[in-house]
């Protein structure tokens, strides 16, 4: 089995109360891959500019991440700059230079088109739909999005949602998409809106995450960290751990989904303990397993 | 065993998106008692005005709540008015008439002074300290407070905290008291500040609650309700379930504290399903037990 991800590859400039990095490796497709590759092979589709230093992603290649779908276009790689406040839940975007990403038309290489597990990272829903049109018969499509598309391209987004099996949102996005201030009702409404009920995951930052499927809620707290260095990539590494685990287990039983949510939370908690991929690069699977077990202690009674 | 609570008894006027009530029974001491009385006898110390209708609390008397410490003063009972927004996490206080509560000097009846389990509901820390001066040798003192005292009477509040064993705050209060935006660090800082480490409980509203003791975190989600009718009294009924269960079990083992946190969360979730005491009045212990079991399903993996 393998997992296909279509998303951004970026150079991030990030300031947090603990320091800053300039033009460090980032992007949803890479954070997802770094996490999912703990469990399964990953195929990436994305675009970079001619300024991209391919040696930066060699650590991912060594872990079984395949970059046959990485297109190099003339121009600069996508760049994002952000500043996190003392309260890391607050951040300002300082700049967004789409560069080569502006004209990205995802072309799925032939050998990826029979993908079973697909992650549509947060990009324009029009592109997400183009990706789905090229995949033959996926077992599971997981969709991420953001408030920008909910308010700006709602109709197109709803089309994509119609074709996905699992939708990942944060709590504010869930409230906005459903127009419901009560998060529980928001989740039920979104999950039951289409022709077939969706599995919904809502990320709540420092408050953890919740999974909803078949009228059952499952809650996982955020791993208690007294120092978050850089929250960038938390959502995508979470999604990578989640879908990577499912791809390895090859089933959608409630037990698998719950454990996948915990693995996603565990990897995200490592990711935010340092800038960029600094922590995920050296993370060992045994450390991940250990943190998975710690999550049990956090909620068992 | 029995539990002593000192707090307010009020007539509340509450508007929520689901309706409104005028001069309905409220106050921290009563919400606490209604919850704690599921587990143990409760002794109340508080004050009401000559306008108070004692028949309103007969349901509590039937459940073993003792009102020998209820003082009736000439004047009106404490009145509070609030309006909850469509997003029930937001509320405006419309009025606060302290009335007889303004000159309340809590006098603990002689037969209550050997109390083992004490809940100091959210009142002026000067009064909380007066209460403690009258209790001989309590096994466990649980303290509630609010941002008003953290910013307005900090020195006095810190004296009370020094004498308590368990401190209950909400997440904003924990951040304010510790001056730490990271909630995990805030909790550790507050718990380890005094001469002896405190047990800390932080309530996070729709995101549940967290218990911290001996360097261990334990998280419980909020019970998923798609309709919260009236959040008034949630915190005090939570505290009542928590301390009532501990008083019944008569120990402070980690297992007991965790289960107490779940019982507190369960009772609070019933409380907010209707105005005032409308739900707690008719709640059966078997329903509470059933919800306790449901909490396991919400977090087990």
Tens of pLDDT, residue by residue over A263-286, are 999 999 999 999 999 999 999 999
Residue A274, burial from CB neighbour count under 10 angstroms (0-12, 13-18, 19+): middle
Distance of CA A198 to CAs A18, A137, A168, A211, B269, Å?
39, 18, 10, 11, 26
> Is the Cβ pair B88, A182 closer than 8 Å?
yes
Reported as a pLDDT band with limits 50, 70 and 90, residue A54 is very high
| Predicted local confidence at residue A47, as pLDDT | 98
- Nearest chain B alpha carbon to A85: B181
> Is the Cβ pair A224, B218 closer than 8 Å?
no
| Predicted local confidence at residue A17, as pLDDT | 95
Q: Which residues of B touch A253 (CB under 8 A)?
A: none
Over residues B195-212, the mean pLDDT reads 94
Q: Kind and range of the H or E element at A131?
A: helix A125-134
Tens of pLDDT, residue by residue over B114-131, are 999 999 999 999 999 999
Cα dihedral value B34, B40, B45, B50, nearest 10: 40
Closest Cα to residue B191, out of B228, B221, B161, B152?
Answer: B161
Task: Break chain A into its structural domains and give their ranges.
Answer: 2-299
Give the count of alpha carbons within 13 A of A153, CB side only. 17
Give the gap in angstroms from C-alpha B271 to the nearest C-alpha of chain A: 17
With 90 as the cut, is the pLDDT of residue B194 above it?
no
Q: Kind and range of the H or E element at B25?
A: strand B19-26
Give me the residue from B182, B227, B261 closest to A228, CB to CB: B182
- Percent of chain A at pLDDT > 70 equals 100
Tens of pLDDT, residue by residue over A129-146, are 999 999 999 999 999 999
With 80 as the cut, is the pLDDT of residue A124 above it?
yes
Over residues B237-253, the mean pLDDT reads 97
Other beta carbons within 10 angstroms of residue B204's beta carbon come to: 20
> Is the Cβ pair A226, B298 closer than 8 Å?
no
Tens of pLDDT, residue by residue over B15-56, are 999 999 999 999 999 999 999 999 999 999 999 999 999 999
| Predicted local confidence at residue A194, as pLDDT | 80
- CB A247, CB B293: distance < 8 Å: no
Collapsed DSSP state (helix, strand, coil) of residue B74: coil
Residue A98, burial from CB neighbour count under 10 angstroms (0-12, 13-18, 19+): middle
d(CA A188, CA B101): 44
With 80 as the cut, is the pLDDT of residue A195 above it?
no
Collapsed DSSP state (helix, strand, coil) of residue A13: strand
Other beta carbons within 10 angstroms of residue B148's beta carbon come to: 11
Give me the residue from A181, A206, A299 closest to B87, CB to CB: A181
Give the gap in angstroms from C-alpha B51 to the nearest C-alpha of chain A: 37
Give the count of alpha carbons within 13 A of A19, CB side only. 11
> Is the Cβ pair B185, A227 closer than 8 Å?
yes
Distance of CA A226 to CAs A233, B32, B107, B183, Å?
18, 32, 42, 8
With 80 as the cut, is the pLDDT of residue A1 above it?
no
Cα dihedral value B256, B257, B260, B265, nearest 10: -150
| Predicted local confidence at residue A89, as pLDDT | 87
B2-299: CATH homologous superfamily? Ribokinase (3.40.1190.20)
Q: Check if B87 contacts A (Cβ < 8 Å).
A: yes
- Nearest chain B alpha carbon to A253: B301
**Strand partners for B15:** B20, B83
Q: Which of B89, B90, B207, B273 to mutate to test the interface with A (most CBs of A within 10 A)?
A: B207
Over residues A22-38, the mean pLDDT reads 98
> Is the Cβ pair A217, B224 closer than 8 Å?
yes
Task: Extract the tokens encoding B8.
Answer: 């307010």
Q: Check if A88 contacts B (Cβ < 8 Å).
A: yes
With 80 as the cut, is the pLDDT of residue B1 above it?
no
| Predicted local confidence at residue A196, as pLDDT | 78
With 80 as the cut, is the pLDDT of residue B161 above it?
yes
Q: Check if B285 contacts A (Cβ < 8 Å).
A: no
| Predicted local confidence at residue B136, as pLDDT | 93
Q: Check if B203 contacts A (Cβ < 8 Å).
A: no
Q: Check if B298 contacts A (Cβ < 8 Å).
A: yes
Token pair 């499927």: residue: A213
Over residues A67-94, the mean pLDDT reads 96
Q: Which residues of A touch B262 (CB under 8 A)?
A: 301
Task: Extract the tokens encoding B16.
Answer: 């929520």
> Is the Cβ pair A185, B298 closer than 8 Å?
no
Give me the residue from A217, A259, A301 closest to B262, CB to CB: A301
- Percent of chain B at pLDDT > 70 equals 100
SS3 readout for B48-66: EECCCCHHHHHHHHHCCEE
Distance of CA B129 to CAs B34, B236, B281, Å?
24, 19, 32
Reported as a pLDDT band with limits 50, 70 and 90, residue B69 is very high
Reported as a pLDDT band with limits 50, 70 and 90, residue A18 is very high
- Nearest chain A alpha carbon to B185: A226
Q: Which residues of B touch A246 (CB under 8 A)?
A: none
With 90 as the cut, is the pLDDT of residue B197 above it?
no
Mean pLDDT of chain A: 96
| Predicted local confidence at residue A235, as pLDDT | 97
Give me the residue from B206, B295, B296 closest to A183, CB to CB: B206
> Is the Cβ pair B262, A88 closer than 8 Å?
no
């Amino acid at each position: 089995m393998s997992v296909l991800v279509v998303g951004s590859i970026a150079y991030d400039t990030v300031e947090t109360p603990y320091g800053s990095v300039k033009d460090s490796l980032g992007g949803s497709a890479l954070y997802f891959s770094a996490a999912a590759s703990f469990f399964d092979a990953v195929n990436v589709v994305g675009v970079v500019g001619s300024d991209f230093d391919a040696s930066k992603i060699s650590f991912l290649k060594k872990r079984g991440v395949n970059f046959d779908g990485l297109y190099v276009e003339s121009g600069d790689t996508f760049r994002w700059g952000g500043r996190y406040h003392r309260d890391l839940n607050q951040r300002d975007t300082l700049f967004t230079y789409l560069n080569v990403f502006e004209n990205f038309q995802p072309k799925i290489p032939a050998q990826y088109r029979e993908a079973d597990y697909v992650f549509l990272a947060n990009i324009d829903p029009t592109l997400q739909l183009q990706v789905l049109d090229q995949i033959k018969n996926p077992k599971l499509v997981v969709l991420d999005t953001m408030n920008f598309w909910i308010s700006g391209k709602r109709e197109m987004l709803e089309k994509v949602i119609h074709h996905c099996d699992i939708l990942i949102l944060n709590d504010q996005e869930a409230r906005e998409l459903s127009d419901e201030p009560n998060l529980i009702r928001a989740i039920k409404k979104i999950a039951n809106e289409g022709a077939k009920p969706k599995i919904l995951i809502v990320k709540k930052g420092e408050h953890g995450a919740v999974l909803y499927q078949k009228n059952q809620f499952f809650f996982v707290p955020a791993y208690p960290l007294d120092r978050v260095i850089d929250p960038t990539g938390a959502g995508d590494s979470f999604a990578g751990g989640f879908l990577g685990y499912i791809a390895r287990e090859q089933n959608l039983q409630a037990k698998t989904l719950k454990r996948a949510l915990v693995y996603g939370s565990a990897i995200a908690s490592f990711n935010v303990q340092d800038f960029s991929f600094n922590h995920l690069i050296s993370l060992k699977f045994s450390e991940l397993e250990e943190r998975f077990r710690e999550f049990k202690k956090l909620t068992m009674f």
